[in-house]
A and B are shown apart, each in its own frame.
Chain A
Amino acid sequence: MMWLSGGFIFRKGYSFYHRLDPRAKLLNSALMFVTTLLARSIFEMVLVVAFMVGLSAAATVLKRVARTMAFTALFSGFIFVVNVLFTRDLETSVLYATRFVAIVVSTSIFFITTSPDELEQVMKMFRLPRDVVFAFVTAVRFIPVMMLDTIQIMDAQKSRGLELEKGNLVRRVRNMIPILIPLVVNSVVRSGELAEAMEARAYGAAPKPTSLLEYRARRVDIGVACASVVLFALAAYSFYFVIPVQFP
């Protein structure tokens, strides 16, 4: 589980992509996301995925993106089977299944290279309410903490003879109760403690609090943003006017 979760959680990195302005990364990911929706054939989708893989390699997060792909492959397999059953069109089914993987990877690249602090700043730039931003960023920041909690709870219960992998499906689901209850209770307690700690440090006292981080776009950030727009335009033009459509 921890292995898979590594595909979605930010870890500090030092590649050029990690150091980019979060706005440039967000624009790049958003355009990759839209490009996956524009791709109308398997060939086009392969091109989009290849670009994402190349970008992940350049950002030194290829292994973690591969984990994202492994995780989404389960759901993608489900999408493929359902589509084959209902449309009986193998190529369309492959396209939809691959598109799902590509969509998740496009957002994953943004999240695993952008720290919660940067995420907070981006959301503030879009003038989202401060409480909403704080709640969202805190939720993101606490994902690794909850993963660690889950492991410790599983260790504690396994040490008391709980065998998670034992029995039929119903038994296995029931076996999750000793894991889920402490996890939920701990999370509720932690959120209460966090709220108290925030209030004790004057959260909400100033109507417009100041910020520690301020972003100014550098040339490289503007360059990446422009390159993203140009590549997107090229991809859209090619998909609709250059590469022949193989099937609708």
Chain B
Amino acid sequence: MIEFRGVTFVHQNGVKALDGVSLRVEAGEFVALVGENGAGKTTLVKHVTGLLKPASGSVLVDGVDTKEASTAQLSRKVGVAFQNPDHQLFSETVEEEMSFALRNFGFSPELVRNRVTWGLELFGLEEYRKSSPLVLSGGEKKRLTLACILAWDPQVVILDEPTVGQDSIQKERLAGTIQMLKSAGKTVMVVSHDIEFLWPIQPRVVVMKGGRVVGDGPSADLMQDRDLLGSARVAQPQLVEFYQELHRRPGTPFVHALDAARWAEESLQP
């Protein structure tokens, strides 16, 4: 579905943000990009919508080379919720804000109304329908930007730091939304530093460092590689640390980190 072939990107100031990145993301996959600040995570996902074009190599989205397509064409397939919601909110009402992309894509008025109502209900924003998006709280703005993206039903959903400014309830709801997207067969890419948020959802984890992919695998396995994560300045999930600490002692009841996770889940249930 999405394929990066030896992608290199150099910023105007000469800094090499991506250095020969090759990665293949299948349709319906859930991938988390983790790594230190400046590792190239956001730069990589910006290539998927054609906002950035590779200096060398190529990016294919559904077989289409992003160099050959405009951002408007690609964004019909790929929805990106950027890190700072204040960078996109401008309409008079939440309702108009949500319909902006739908109108750009030429949806019929009836479909626009239906999709707006669906999105507002899904993210608990119905009561703000006629309010200005600028007066919403940080968490509400974040949810609104996500609702705006999902409204046009893109095949690929990219979330850049979706948990920033979200309380624990909202994080749980967000995790639920991601599960829903997975069930609907959407390809989901999440850029995040929030390992505790990612761990329960168990994505495929791609670790980036200095513009390169240094690790790629299922989170259950990759999150146990303390050295790899440490080198990319990524913290291990607390449960994995707990499991590894237990594993060093004799008579540990767990064979795998996921056993510890299941045990913790069952123990914490009322």
Contacts and interface: CB of A to CB of B under 8 A. Distances in A.
A155 B82 contact: yes
A175 B82 CA distance: 20
Contacts of B90: 177-178, 181-182, 185
Given A149-B87, A160-B88, A182-B86, 7 more contacts: A2-B12, A152-B84, A158-B49, A160-B149, A162-B104, A163-B70, A177-B90
B247 interface: no
Contacts of A181: 90
Interface stretch (B73-81, B170-178, B213-221): B73-81
Contacts of B100: 160, 162, 178
Interface residues of B, number: 27
Contacts of A149: 87
16 contacts: A3-B12, A149-B87, A152-B84, A152-B87, A153-B87, A156-B88, A157-B88, A158-B71, A159-B78, A161-B152, A162-B100, A162-B104, A178-B100, A181-B90, A185-B90, A185-B134
A189 interface: yes
A68 B269 CA distance: 65
Interface string B40-80: 00000010010100000000000000000011100110111
B90 to A, nearest CB: 4
Contacts of B51: 155, 158-159
Contact of A152 (B49, B71, B82): B82
Interface string A133-158: 00000000000000001001101111
B82 A160 contact: no
Interface in A155-190: 155-163, 177-178, 181-182, 185-186, 189
Nearest to A190: B86
- A-B pairs, top 3 by smallest CB distance, nearest first, are A161-B104, A181-B90, A160-B101
A162 B75 CA distance: 10
Interface residues of A, number: 22
Contacts of A153: 87-88
B263 interface: no
Contact of A161 (B82, B88, B105): B105
Contacts of B105: 161
B148 interface: yes
Contacts of A159: 49, 51, 71, 75, 78-80, 82
B76 A161 contact: yes
Contacts of B149: 160
Contacts of A2: 12
Nearest to A181: B90
Interface string B78-109: 11101010111110000000001100110000
B120 to A, nearest CB: 17
A185 B97 CA distance: 15
Contact of B75 (A6, A158, A186, A189): A158
A2 to B, nearest CB: 7
A160 B89 CA distance: 11
Interface in B131-155: 134, 148-149, 152
B105 to A, nearest CB: 5
B231 to A, nearest CB: 29
Contacts of A162: 72, 100, 104
Contact of A182 (B76, B79, B89, B104): B89
Contacts of B87: 149, 152-153, 155-156, 182, 186
Contacts of B86: 182, 185-186, 189
Interface string B100-137: 11001100000000000000000000000000001000
Contacts of B88: 153, 156-157, 160, 178, 182
